[in-house]
Structure 1
Amino acid sequence: MLKGFAYVYPLVGRVAIGEIVREEGKSARPVKHDYFTITTQAKVSGTWVAHPVQGKLMASDAEKKLRSIPIRVLFDDPSLVMSESYVAFDKDGRQLCRGDGQTARQLNANTSSRSEVPCPGPSYCTSYCARQCKLLGRLDFSIATDQEASGFSFEAFALRTSGFNTVRALRTKLELFAKAFGGLRGLPLNLVLRTKNTKKSMSTNFYYVDLELGCGFMEGAKRVKAFKSEASEAGINLEAMDEMMKSLISGDVAETDEDVEEFEEVLASHGFSLNDGWGEPQAQDGEDHTEEMSPRSKNWVAEGIARGAATGLI
């Protein structure tokens, strides 16, 4: 294996709330939805191709809008299921810096090497890439269709977000569930959309993503225990699988530069210009709205109206 190279788990698709709209003669703009979309990692005529699983999940939905997705996770350790970092990109989508709130790996523009620097977070960072720095989270999971509801699938999807509410909700639930049940594999979970408003959103409703159990609490504990037992009887070493994945992702680059297009709507909605380069943040309303703002508010954000602090903190 290559040294210093991160072998992230390969994906077959992505989950998003919104899209980038490019109209002839007009600037590209992020459009928010009040539902999930599931796509492949391919585009046709500039538009993401819908993944077949989306049609399966919407078959029984009269509105044909996904507001809940049944999921399973591939690992017991929450740190292998979800990651979050403060990340800065340049106008070409190249990572300038990635930090965890304590330390960061920053690109030296002169030497093209990376060095470790203190990371106080975007609100207090004084480095050259401070204005480009945003929270970026990623949740990896498989989607459970009716046929696979109790099984284990290696077909992984990713939800990317730079919303503080979403990152907080997902991380908290994953950590609590993992501690309560002794792991996460085999646990039925649902990705759901929730609404709230805050002072920074000017009392305007916005959406964020949350996790909920797909069964009762006691039943969840039984499901996790049963999965571990079945895996052991089949000769599957789950602990070794987790340890190997930790080793694979331990390299320098967790999200490669060419992946930036896969979460363009996340960055764009958080204030990055789609027309003049990723490295120039536009004015924003200060709310945690990256992919969670309601349709009522999407134009307000897209026009870059500065109504509050630009930190996005709630």
Structure 2
Amino acid sequence: MLKGLAITPPVVGRISIGRVIERNGKRLPEKDDQFTLTTQIQNHDGWMLHPLDETMRKASNGKLRAIPVRLMFNDPNLNLRAEYSAFEKETGRPICVGNGDTCRRAANNAIETLPCPSPEACEFGLKRCKPYGRLNVIVGEDDELGSFIFRTTSFNSIRTLAARLNYYHALSGGLLATMPLELKLRGKSTTQSYRSAIYYVDLAVRSGMSLESAIAQARELADRKRTAGFDQTALDDAARMGFANGAFEDSADEAPEVVEEFYPTSPPASGPGTSTAPPNNPSLNDKLKAKADKLIN
């Protein structure tokens, strides 16, 4: 294994609730009120749609606001990695990643470990650091180790997903990887959004199922996989070692997308469905929840 290279879950597609548009010669992020599933290929019109996008959109009669998913790992912190992150604007290279306690910062051709007081209390990160989350989920039945990735800088999405993952993990006896779940898009209004709708991502049991039946199905599927020789514990351990193998999870391949999300050239346009306004560290979810009243999208 190459040292310094984070080994992350194989990605076969992306999940977003927005897109990047070009207006007056500038590329700007534009929020949406529905999900979009794309491939990892871009053309002049943007990211190419994944075939599952059309399939699921037809099943939902238009707008895609719920996606049936399964998780890859039983450990909540392997499915969702959430950190405070700062990126170099010109290249998209990660320069500082922290959890509110300590951070890893690229400086002087080395990676330094420094205190991380959180962005609002950090001179270095005050105007460049944001909460950054990455959630990997399995969509469809074609590839049990191929995931779709949802990247977000929304504190609402990070906080909600972190809470749901921990709750389902506790209620199911640690069987997150076999729970029948779905990503759901929810809306809310706040004083910071001037009462207009902002959208965030939630995780729920699949429509038409009760929590009890979802847990029963999770146990049945876990037993069936175990009988077939599927070692979920070993998979979690392998993923944990892979994430810890690099100082930063994101590589140069994601640089343009990260820069567009973190550093838009001007504020996104307002209108229907637009917003006005993450190695794994298991303590971050608690730190994010503790700062819930201080940070909004």
Q: TM-score range by the shorter chain?
A: 0.7 to 0.9
| Residue of structure 2 equivalent to 1:75 | 73
1:29-81 CA-to-partner distances (Å, cap 9, x unmatched) read 2222111111011111251000011111112333x221111111111111110
Which residue number corresponds to residue 170 of structure 1? 161
CA distance 1:114–1:46, shift in 2 (3 Å) = farther
- Contact map agreement 2:33 2:274 (CA 8 A) in 1: no
SS state at 2:34 partner: coil
1:212 aligns with 2:204: yes
SS at match of 1:19: strand
Of 220, 224, 234, the residue aligned with 1:230 is 224
- Cα gap change, 1:250 to 1:98, in 2 (>3 Å): same
Identity of aligned residues (%): 30
Return closer, same or farther for 1:139/1:166 CA change in 2, 3 Å cut-off.
same
Corresponding residue for 2:291? none
* Alignment size in residue pairs: 276
Asked if residue 124 in structure 1 is aligned to residue 102 in structure 2, the reply is no
Q: Quick check: which one's strand share is greater?
A: 2
Indicate yes or no: 2:100 matched with 1:101: yes
Q: Which residue of 2 aligns with 1:59?
A: 58
| CA distance in 2: counterparts of 1:75 and 1:249, whole angstroms | 13
Seen in structure 2, the aligned counterparts of structure 1 residues 50 and 297 have a Cα distance that, compared at 3 Å, is closer
**Cα displacement string for residues 83-138 of structure 1 (whole angstroms, at most 9, x for unaligned residues):** 10111011221111000111000111xx22110011111111012x4321111101
Is 1:313 equivalent to 2:296 in the alignment?
yes
Q: How does 1:133-212 map onto structure 2 within 5 Å?
A: 133-144=129-140, 148=141, 153-182=144-173, 183-212=175-204
What's the TM-score, normalizing by structure 1? 0.82
Higher relative contact order (CA 8 A, sep 6+): 2
Residue in structure 1 matched with residue 272 of structure 2 by the alignment: 296
Contact 1:99 1:119 in 2 (8 A): yes
Which whole-Å CA distance do the structure 2 matches of 1:68 and 1:166 have between them? 14
CA contact (8 A) 1:33 1:294 kept: no
Residue 36 of structure 1 is matched in structure 2 by: 35
Report the alpha carbon displacement of residue 189 of structure 1 after superposing the two structures with TM.
Answer: 0.8
Please point out which of 258, 263, 278 is paired with 2:253. Answer: 258
Runs of 4+ off more than 6 Å: none
**Aligned counterparts of 2:133 and 2:211: Cα–Cα separation in 1:** 26
CA contact (8 A) 2:9 2:146 kept: no
SS of equivalent to 1:32:
strand
Residues 294 and 54 (structure 1), Cα distance of their counterparts in 2 relative to 1, 3 Å cut: farther
Please tell me the root mean square deviation across aligned C-alpha atoms, in Å. Answer: 2.2
User: Structure 1: how far apart are the matches of 2:189 and 2:276?
Assistant: 15
8 Å contact 1:161–1:167 — kept in the other structure? yes
1:206 counterpart letter in structure 2: I
What's the counterpart of residue 277 of structure 1? none
Is 2:239 aligned against 1:241? no
CA distance 1:213–1:200, change in 2 (3 Å): same
The 3-state SS of whatever aligns with 2:237 is helix
Query: Do the aligned partners of 2:160 and 2:202 also contact (CA within 8 Å) in 1?
Result: yes
Classify 1:68/1:264 alpha carbon distance in 2 versus 1 (closer, same or farther; 3 Å). farther
Q: Aligned partners of 1:105 and 1:4: how far apart in 2?
A: 13
Give 5+ residue unaligned stretches, structure 1: 275-281, 285-289, 302-310
CA contact (8 A) 2:18 2:29 kept: yes
